[in-house]
């Protein structure tokens, strides 16, 4: 008995240690170091001792307009993307769950951009916005297409929303498709016999039945938009510049890119890390909210 | 009935049109990858004059010393496949002992993995790089700019979700199966490798798909761990470096982008059912 439990212990730690070791080395230690560094004058130099400065890095963030602007743009971008992606995805899901001939092709096709990296898609779309669309605008005499959407601060924001929605909608669509397929067909047929039109069936049967999918998808899109980096880098690179509260800022520089630029372009590691900690806190709050909403719904059910 | 048919036909048309619009960027990508530089400037929307330009572009891409496409593709394959093997194998092992050992330690470790899934990459990326340098200074093992360093990092970042997925699956495997094998004289590791590992196949497919697509396309972690212009480059890094540093040769960029997406698209077409299910499941659970 005793020998067996020794074997169990050896196997337990033997099997657990490879992932646990990597986890501690790659996530736990850097995370603890990162929180600590955000209170110091960290310069990114390995092994250097860093003077403790308390909340100074965080206090500076409150005064930094470029950060404030980036935060606001990211919040706006995340909310707009959440709405657009869910709307497009839901409409697509409704279409591809009808008895259409090519519905399997449509499903796979709308999903396809999700297996391609955001960096590569961003470059493709950069070319489309800078070269193909202006040409199309010329040919069809559509005024607003003639100038690249990426050149103007306001339209560049929507170009970013557009590309990410285009990429992500097919993914969210599949979650809605799964939810729509779980709506009992008899219920819809019974309602139709009772004289409910397509719109009424959608409004009073389908939508309430797939409400859980709406919650899941809203948080999924919100969190993923908040973390956006790859498409941001390749599509706009944060450009163009604009002014905010009298200071020049980058119009489409989302938070993840702002953190990266603070550390590597401005060479200010401590402040970049303080921003990253703020970024982490916001995402944790979003996750807790999601758990809260899911729990609440379970109680209601 | 006739009205229903007309309605469906209309829907089919609308969806097909939307679908065509959805794919228009890929049309632009493909046609411009096969044009000369002059043609890209003068006629960006039309089909290429002659498809023979494709070969010239391809030769230019493969010979380009700044892009090093061939070497980058090899590195991408090495990094993705090695990371997948270690992530899948070690995560399955860890999940199995976490499920089968019921004590405070195993509960704590599992909860830690679940909690870590909330941690965004941005909050660990800066200290990670200097921590890797510290390890190099202390042990003499270089972690940055090496294959093993990056693969080790992928094991660290990829194992949480993978363990979570395996954990959920293993909970459903009856314990009697293992007890019978133990009575027959199997050691615990034998039970895992001979009996459990083969049963895990469906969830292993999900783990490979989720991690594979992420690692193949990943940009920021290789950027930090390898750096642009390093001997070892992944395809996204090579393309970002190529686009960032020189006069934009869009016809070559388009072909490079096309070559970069062909492997994933082919894989997707071959296994779309698995891939869609795997990606949707993984993210909804995680």
Q: What would the pLDDT profile of B234-277 be if each residue is shown by its tens digit?
A: 999 998 888 876 667 787 888 889 988 998 899 898 888 888 88
My answer on whether B189 and B77 are in the same domain is: yes
A184 touches chain B (CB under 8 A): no
Domain count, chain B: 2
- What pLDDT score does B247 carry? 67
Q: Which of B8, B94, B131 sits opposite A19 (nearest CB)?
A: B94
d(CA A91, CA A84): 11
Contact call for A259 and B122, based on CB within 8 A: yes
Q: Which of A11, A31, A283 sits opposite B124 (nearest CB)?
A: A31
Contact call for B123 and A29, based on CB within 8 A: no
Ranking A148-152, A213-217, B51-55, B105-109 by mean pLDDT, the lowest is B51-55
Beta bridge partners of A52: A40
- On whether the CB atoms of residues B22 and A109 are closer than 8 A, the answer is yes
My answer on whether B11 and B126 are in the same domain is: no
| Residue A90 domain flag | yes
pLDDT above 50 for B285: yes
Residue range B32-54: mean pLDDT, rounded: 76
Contact call for A18 and B90, based on CB within 8 A: yes
Is the peptide bond preceding residue B136 cis, with omega within 30 degrees of 0?
no
Contact call for B19 and A110, based on CB within 8 A: yes
Range of the structural domain that residue B193 is part of: 67-285
Q: How far is A74 from chain B (nearest CA, A)?
A: 15
Mean residue pLDDT of chain A comes to 87
Q: Which of A8, A29, A108 sits opposite B272 (nearest CB)?
A: A108
Locate B188 and state its tokens.
């615990």
Q: How far is A267 from chain B (nearest CA, A)?
A: 11
- Give which of A23, A32, A20 is closest to B106, Cα–Cα: A20
What are B150-187's pLDDT values in tens digits? 999 999 999 999 999 999 999 988 888 888 888 888 88
Residue range B19-40: mean pLDDT, rounded: 84
A11 to chain B: which residues are within 8 Å by CB? Answer: 97, 188-189
| Residue A48 domain flag | no
Contact call for A34 and B236, based on CB within 8 A: no
Counting residues of chain B whose pLDDT is more than 90, the rounded percentage is 38
A198 touches chain B (CB under 8 A): no
| Residue A28 domain flag | no
pLDDT above 60 for B98: yes
- What pLDDT score does A1 carry? 42
- What pLDDT score does B55 carry? 81
- On whether the CB atoms of residues B150 and B221 are closer than 8 A, the answer is yes
Contact call for B123 and A279, based on CB within 8 A: yes
Q: Which of A7, A30, A229 sits opposite B131 (nearest CB)?
A: A30
pLDDT level of residue B1 (50, 70, 90 thresholds): low
My answer on whether B208 and B256 are in the same domain is: yes
Question: Closest residue of B to A284, CA-based?
Answer: B118
Contact call for B15 and A102, based on CB within 8 A: yes
A12 touches chain B (CB under 8 A): yes
Chains A and B form CB pairs within 8 A to the count of 245
My answer on whether B199 and B244 are in the same domain is: yes
Mean residue pLDDT of chain B comes to 87
Measuring CA to CA, how many Å separate A12 from each of A60, B94, B100, B163? 47, 8, 9, 15
Give the DSSP per-residue string, B1-51.
-HHHHHHHHHHHHHHHHHHHHHHHHHHHHHHHHTS-HHHHHH-SSS--S-T
A15 to chain B: which residues are within 8 Å by CB? Answer: 93-94, 96-97, 192
Range of the structural domain that residue A182 is part of: 63-300
My answer on whether B156 and B41 are in the same domain is: no
Final residue of a structural domain among B62, B90, B105:
B62
Q: Which residues contact A230 (CB under 8 A, 6 or more apart)?
A: A117, A118, A119, A122, B217, B219, B220
Residue range B203-216: mean pLDDT, rounded: 91
pLDDT above 80 for B37: no
Backbone dihedral angles phi then psi of residue A291, each to the nearest 5 degrees: -60, -45
Q: How far is A243 from chain B (nearest CA, A)?
A: 25
My answer on whether B213 and B96 are in the same domain is: yes
| Residue A49 domain flag | no
Mutation site, A7, A26, A94, A175, interface B, largest B CB count within 10 A: A26
- What pLDDT score does A46 carry? 65
**For chain A, counts of helices (H) and of strands (E):** 16, 2
A171 touches chain B (CB under 8 A): yes
My answer on whether B52 and B146 are in the same domain is: no
d(CA A143, CA B41): 20
Backbone dihedral angles phi then psi of residue B25, each to the nearest 5 degrees: -60, -35
Q: How far is A46 from chain B (nearest CA, A)?
A: 5
φ/ψ region of B235 (left if φ > 0, alpha if ψ in -120 to 50, else beta) reads alpha
Q: How far is B52 from chain A (nearest CA, A)?
A: 22
- What pLDDT score does A301 carry? 47
Render each residue's pLDDT in chain A as its tens digit; 301 residues: 445 578 888 889 999 999 999 999 999 999 999 999 999 888 877 666 788 888 888 988 888 888 999 999 999 999 999 999 999 999 999 999 888 888 888 999 999 999 998 999 999 999 999 888 888 877 887 777 778 888 888 889 999 999 999 999 999 999 999 888 888 888 888 888 888 788 888 888 888 888 888 888 988 899 999 999 999 999 988 788 788 777 888 888 999 999 999 988 888 888 999 999 999 999 999 888 888 887 776 555 4
d(CA A104, CA B146): 42
Beta bridge partners of A248: A243
Contact call for B159 and A37, based on CB within 8 A: no
d(CA B172, CA B174): 6
What are B137-152's pLDDT values in tens digits? 889 888 889 999 999 9
DSSP class of residue A102? Answer: T
| Residue A15 domain flag | no
My answer on whether B55 and B195 are in the same domain is: no
Q: Which residues contact A125 (CB under 8 A, 6 or more apart)?
A: A159, A163, A166, A235, B25
Contact call for A269 and B126, based on CB within 8 A: yes
Domain count, chain A: 1
Contact call for B18 and A277, based on CB within 8 A: no
Contact call for A135 and B45, based on CB within 8 A: yes
Measuring CA to CA, how many Å separate A288 from each of A51, A139, B42? 34, 51, 53
Q: Taking the model in full, what pTM does it have? A: 0.90
Question: Closest residue of B to A33, CA-based?
Answer: B127
What CATH number is attached to the domain comprising A84?
1.10.3720.10
Mutation site, B15, B96, B190, interface A, largest A CB count within 10 A: B15
My answer on whether B75 and B128 are in the same domain is: yes
Q: How many CB atoms neighbour CB B168 within 10 A? A: 13
d(CA B19, CA B13): 10
ipTM for this prediction: 0.90
My answer on whether B95 and B57 are in the same domain is: no
Question: Closest residue of B to A290, CA-based?
Answer: B118
Contact call for A111 and B272, based on CB within 8 A: yes
d(CA B56, CA B35): 9
- On whether the CB atoms of residues A128 and B28 are closer than 8 A, the answer is yes
Mutation site, A15, A181, A281, interface B, largest B CB count within 10 A: A15
- Give which of B250, B119, B256 is closest to A26, Cα–Cα: B119
| Residue A108 domain flag | yes
My answer on whether B129 and B83 are in the same domain is: yes
Final residue of a structural domain among B31, B62, B93:
B62
My answer on whether B152 and B19 are in the same domain is: no
Contact call for B187 and A7, based on CB within 8 A: yes
């Amino acid at each position: 008995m005793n020998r067996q439990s020794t074997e169990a212990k050896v196997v337990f730690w033997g099997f657990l240690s490879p992932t646990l070791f990597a986890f501690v080395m790659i996530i736990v230690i850097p995370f603890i170091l990162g929180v600590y560094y955000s209170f110091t004058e960290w310069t990114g130099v390995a092994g250097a001792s860093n003077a403790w400065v308390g909340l100074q890095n965080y206090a500076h963030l409150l005064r930094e307009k470029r950060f404030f602007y980036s935060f606001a743009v990211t919040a706006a971008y995340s909310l707009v993307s959440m709405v657009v992606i869910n709307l497009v995805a839901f409409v697509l899901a409704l279409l591809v769950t009808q008895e259409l001939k090519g519905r399997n092709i449509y499903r796979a096709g709308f999903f396809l951009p999700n297996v391609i990296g955001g960096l590569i898609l961003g470059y493709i779309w950069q070319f489309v916005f800078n070269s193909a669309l202006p040409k199309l605008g010329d040919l069809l005499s559509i005024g607003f297409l003639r100038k690249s959407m990426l050149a103007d601060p306001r339209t560049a924001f929507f170009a970013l929303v557009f590309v990410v929605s285009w990429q992500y909608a097919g993914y969210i669509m599949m979650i809605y498709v799964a939810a729509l397929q779980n709506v009992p067909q008899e219920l819809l047929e019974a309602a139709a016999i009772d004289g409910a039109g397509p719109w009424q069936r959608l409004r009073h049967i389908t939508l309430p039945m797939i409400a859980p999918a709406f919650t899941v998808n809203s948080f999924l899109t919100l969190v993923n938009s908040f973390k956006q980096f790859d498409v941001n880098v390749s599509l706009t690179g944060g450009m163009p510049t604009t002014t905010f509260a009298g200071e020049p800022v980058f119009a489409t520089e989302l938070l993840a890119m702002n953190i990266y630029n603070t550390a590597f372009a401005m060479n200010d590691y401590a402040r970049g890390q303080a921003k990253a900690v703020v970024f982490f806190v916001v995402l944790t709050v979003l996750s807790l909210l999601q758990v809260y909403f899911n729990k609440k719904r379970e109680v209601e059910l | 009935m006739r009205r229903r048919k007309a309605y469906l036909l209309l829907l089919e048309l609308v969806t097909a049109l939307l679908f065509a619009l959805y794919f228009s960027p890929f049309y632009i990508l493909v046609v411009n990858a096969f044009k000369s530089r002059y043609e890209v400037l003068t006629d960006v929307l039309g089909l290429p004059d002659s498809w023979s330009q494709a070969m010239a572009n391809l030769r230019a891409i493969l010979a380009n010393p700044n892009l090093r496409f061939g070497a980058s593709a090899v590195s991408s394959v090495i990094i993705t496949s090695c990371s997948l093997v270690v992530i899948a194998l070690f995560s399955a092992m860890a999940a199995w002992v976490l499920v089968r050992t019921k004590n405070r330690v195993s509960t704590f470790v599992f909860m830690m993995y679940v909690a870590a899934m909330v941690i965004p990459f941005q909050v660990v990326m800066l200290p990670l790089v200097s921590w890797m340098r510290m390890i190099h200074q202390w042990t003499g093992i270089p972690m940055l700019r090496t294959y093993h360093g990056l693969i080790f990092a992928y094991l660290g970042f990829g194992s949480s979700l993978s363990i979570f997925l395996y954990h959920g699956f293993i909970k459903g495997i009856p314990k009697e199966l293992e007890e019978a094998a133990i009575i027959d004289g199997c050691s615990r590791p034998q039970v895992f490798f001979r009996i459990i590992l083969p049963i895990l196949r469906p969830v292993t497919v999900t783990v490979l798909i989720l991690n594979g697509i992420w690692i193949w396309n990943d940009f920021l972690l290789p950027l930090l761990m390898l750096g642009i212009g390093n001997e070892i480059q992944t395809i996204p890094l090579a393309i970002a470096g190529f686009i960032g540093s020189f006069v934009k040769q869009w016809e070559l960029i388009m072909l490079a982008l096309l070559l970069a997406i062909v492997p994933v698209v082919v894989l997707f077409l071959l296994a779309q059912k698995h891939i869609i299910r795997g990606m949707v499941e993984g993210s909804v659970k995680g």
